[in-house]
């Protein structure tokens, strides 16, 4: 479906022009848009219309990386960008990043509403196809509302195409009502969607994706029984499993593997992304790119030792002079650390004063923490760093399994099923950490599953929402940004990003402000506290 979805706008314009050419020359037909009179006639129109919803609703890779840079585990490499202001929590309601995110989310909702408002106009003998399209649009719209609710709290609930006057009169809807709407929409969508698609339609929302989004939404809402139930529905489908190699999970060879529930699909030279050019080590890129978002010491320190013990435990075996050795293998599968081999075969050396292109603090283009991301950085893209075709995973089975475990932990259902869910993730073939034992306390399991989410799903765009729902922002975000640990003249040191401090005001920063421009356009929109 890669080409089907992302060529939709071009196809629609061509169809409109062809339709206009067949009409009498004295009739004026707009040639820059489609009209209701010329569209919504066939099942193909329905498919083309819902195809156009996907690019408005599925996050690109840079969006996911950006959201994690707003947390403790990531950092915006450019100090002077609007993104850096959001990371530091030193912005206001006029910030362009926040305004753009709000606009993009409601654009996605508007495109889904356009489909849902018009589907029933199509005379059809293939009701199953129309129902599938309806399910796709409902699931994608619900996906947008999950993002809105977690970022802004109460938001306008818009379920149809609005007139200008209706837009001006918008008010915010309570977050509980939004969560109810999301849950109902995803239940309805799941009933309409297939478990899988033929190869030509890969990338569309499936029944499993609808249930997985429902599990995510209910976990975020603190509705743990509903979250566990939805996650269990994904598990019971029997079509997903943990991919055995975390080290290749984000590679071209693993695209569409059994763990992927929903991804945003790309095609090199046709519909490319720029992940390699913005995330690979600068020493690999040279003039072809620069680091945009980079991991932090906070993330690196979350990975346990290979024996399963935290690095601060006295008996863990952690050696501060070799801080990244004998660790959870996911550390080096996720991050480039000093000594790793880059796709060009050269050694990544970000140590201060190393004289390499990657030396931390050496240029404005190299990493400012000494770490860079390894996920999605593939050797196939090295020759043309800005022309990548790697798909970006938006939902995968490991998240669902951890959601199931966390929800059961919060419900007090501490049994073999709960513990096995965590172990299923941490014991995949090339990770193989020691199993969590049955009998581990609820408090201990809560800490374990939260750390598992942080390291397993790092730089997949979920950390900010986790921090907010757990209420730990003031504990983990404020302060300087730490980077690599290294040895200099026999002394263990930690590189700290200079002149950069993150802040977090718990009375304000658990929600973002309603953008200033939106409140000008819709005066009935209230503002979040202390913005």
The pLDDT assigned to 6 comes to 46
Residue 32 pLDDT: 58
pLDDT value of position 111: 97
Closest CA to 69 of 521, 495, 524, 467: 467
d(CA 72, CA 321): 24
The pLDDT value recorded for residue 364 is: 85
Return per-residue pLDDT of the chain as tens, 531 residues: 554 444 444 444 334 433 434 444 345 555 555 566 789 999 999 999 999 999 999 999 899 999 999 999 999 999 889 999 999 999 999 999 999 999 999 999 999 999 999 999 999 889 999 999 999 999 999 999 999 999 999 999 999 999 999 999 999 999 999 999 999 999 999 999 999 999 999 999 999 999 999 999 999 999 999 999 999 999 999 999 999 999 999 999 999 999 999 999 999 999 999 999 999 999 988 767 789 999 999 999 999 999 999 999 999 999 999 999 999 999 999 999 999 999 989 999 999 989 999 999 888 889 999 999 999 999 999 999 999 999 999 999 999 999 999 999 999 999 999 999 999 999 999 999 999 999 999 999 999 999 999 999 999 999 999 999 999 999 999 999 999 999 999 999 999 999 999 999 999 999 999 999 999 999 999 999 999
Q: Cβ–Cβ contacts within 10 Å for residue 54, how many?
A: 23
pLDDT at 80: 86
Residue 136, phi-psi category: left (phi > 0), alpha (psi -120 to 50), beta (remainder): alpha
What number of CA atoms fall less than 13 Å from residue 10's CA on the CB side? 5
Q: Indicate the angle between helix axes 463-470 and 61-69, nearest 10 degrees.
A: 40
The pLDDT of residue 7 is: 44
**Environment class of 28 (CB within 10 Å of its CB; exposed 0-12, middle 13-18, buried 19+):** exposed
Q: How far apart are CA 167 and CA 519, in angstroms?
A: 11
User: Can you tell me the distance from the alpha carbon of 97 to that of 385, in angstroms, rounded to the nearest whole number?
Assistant: 25
So what's the pLDDT on residue 22? 42
Longest dimension (CA), the chain: 86
Beta-bridge partner residues of 271: 267
The pTM (predicted TM-score) of the whole model is 0.93
Instruction: Report the candidate in 202, 172, 241 with the shortest Cα–Cα distance to residue 421.
Output: 241
* DSSP three-state, residue 494: strand
At 11 the pLDDT is: 41
> How many CA atoms are closer than 13 Å to the CA of 206, on its beta-carbon side?
21
- Looking at residue 20, its pLDDT comes to 39
pLDDT confidence of residue 38: 80
């Amino acid at each position: 479906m890669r080409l089907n979805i992302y060529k939709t706008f071009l196809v629609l314009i061509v169809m409109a022009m062809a339709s206009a050419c067949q009409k009498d020359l004295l009739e004026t037909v707009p040639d820059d848009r489609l009209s209701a009179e010329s569209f919504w006639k066939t099942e193909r129109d329905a498919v083309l219309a819902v195809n156009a919803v996907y690019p408005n609703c599925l996050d690109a890779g840079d969006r996911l990386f950006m959201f994690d840079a707003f947390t403790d585990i990531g950092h915006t490499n450019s100090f002077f960008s609007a993104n850096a202001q959001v990371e530091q929590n030193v912005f206001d309601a006029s910030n362009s990043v926040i305004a753009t995110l709000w606009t993009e989310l409601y654009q996605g909702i508007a495109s889904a509403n356009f489909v849902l408002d018009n589907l029933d106009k199509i005379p059809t003998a293939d009701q199953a196809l129309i129902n599938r399209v309806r399910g796709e649009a409902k699931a994608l719209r619900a996906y947008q509302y999950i993002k809105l609710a977690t970022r802004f709290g109460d938001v306008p609930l818009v379920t149809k195409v609005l007139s200008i006057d209706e837009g001006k009169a918008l008010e915010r809807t309570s977050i509980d009502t939004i969560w109810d709407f999301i849950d109902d929409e995803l239940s309805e969508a799941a009933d309409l969607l297939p478990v899988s698609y033929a190869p030509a339609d890969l990338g569309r929302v499936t029944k499993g994706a609808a249930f997985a989004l429902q599990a995510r939404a209910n976990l975020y809402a603190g509705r743990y029984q509903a979250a566990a139930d939805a996650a269990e529905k994904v598990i019971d489908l029997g079509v997903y499993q943990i991919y055995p190699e975390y080290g290749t999970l984000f590679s071209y060879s693993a695209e569409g593997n059994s763990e992927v529930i929903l991804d945003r699909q790309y095609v090199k030279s046709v519909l490319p992304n720029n992940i390699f050019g913005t995330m690979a080590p600068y020493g690999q890129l040279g003039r072809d790119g620069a680091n945009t978002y980079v991991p932090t010491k906070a993330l690196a320190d979350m990975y346990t030792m290979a024996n399963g013990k935290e690095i601060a435990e006295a008996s863990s075996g952690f050696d501060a002079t070799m801080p990244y050795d004998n660790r959870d293998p996911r550390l080096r599968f996720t991050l480039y650390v000093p000594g790793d081999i880059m796709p060009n075969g050269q050694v990544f050396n970000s140590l201060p004063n190393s004289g390499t292109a990657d030396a931390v603090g050496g240029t404005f283009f190299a990493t400012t923490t000494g770490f860079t991301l390894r996920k999605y950085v593939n050797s196939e893209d090295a020759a043309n760093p800005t022309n990548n075709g790697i798909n970006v995973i938006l939902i995968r089975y490991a998240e669902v399994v951890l959601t199931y475990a966390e929800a059961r932990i919060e419900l007090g259902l501490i049994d073999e099923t709960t513990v096995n869910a965590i172990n299923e993730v941490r014991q995949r073939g090339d990770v193989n950490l020691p199993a969590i034992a049955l009998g581990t306390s609820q408090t201990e399991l809560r800490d374990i599953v939260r750390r598992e989410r942080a390291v397993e799903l790092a730089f997949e765009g979920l950390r900010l929402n986790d921090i907010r729902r757990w209420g730990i922002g003031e504990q983990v975000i404020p302060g300087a940004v730490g980077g690599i640990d290294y040895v200099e003249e026999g002394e263990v040191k930690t590189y700290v990003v200079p002149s950069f401090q993150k802040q977090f005001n718990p009375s304000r920063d658990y929600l973002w402000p309603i953008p200033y421009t939106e409140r000008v356009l819709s005066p009935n929109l209230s503002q979040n506290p202390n913005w």
